[in-house]
Amino acid sequence: MNRKSRRALAKASPAEKQMADQVALFGKLPESCTLCSEAFDKKDRDMLSSWKVVVIQETVRLYCPCCIEQTEEKVENERS
Ligand SMILES: [Zn+2]
């Protein structure tokens, strides 16, 4: 890494970095639910607030409300 890019990295606050990450991820959002393939419209505010985006390493996974419920149930079952 050269001196210039190292300085730029140190300067960026964690919040700024996170914001940049989210913008980058937004462009990578899948167009449908990862589990059931239900279509996702990122212009729909209700969908944006009710769907869940999970980032695992470089992979963006998108879950519709139904699948969120199901995965939460599954987690509950695994826990007990
Ligand atoms: Zn789904």
Tens of pLDDT, residues 24-50? 666 778 899 999 999 999 889 999 899
- What distance in angstroms lies between residue 64's CA and the mean position of ligand 1's atoms? 4
pLDDT, tens only, 43-59: 899 998 999 988 888 78
What DSSP assignment string belongs to 37-79? --B--TT-HHHHHHSEEEEETTEEEEE-HHHHHHHHHHHHHHH
What is the pLDDT, as a whole number, of residue 12? 66
Q: What percent of the chain clears pLDDT 90, i.e. is strictly above it?
A: 32
Q: Which residue in the block uniquely carries the two structure tokens 């639910």?
A: 33
- What distance in angstroms lies between residue 29's CA and the mean position of ligand 1's atoms? 14
- What distance in angstroms lies between residue 43's CA and the mean position of ligand 1's atoms? 18
Selection from 19, 25, 44 nearest residue 65 by Cα: 44
Q: Which residue in the block uniquely carries the two structure tokens 């989210």?
A: 22
pLDDT, tens only, 55-74: 888 788 899 999 999 888 87
- What distance in angstroms lies between residue 47's CA and the mean position of ligand 1's atoms? 12
- What distance in angstroms lies between residue 60's CA and the mean position of ligand 1's atoms? 14
What is the pLDDT, as a whole number, of residue 26? 65
Q: How far apart, in Å, are the Cα atoms of 51 and each of 42, 55, 57, 72, 74? A: 10, 13, 19, 13, 18
Provide the whole-model pTM. Answer: 0.60
In this structure, which amino acid lies at residue 80?
Answer: S
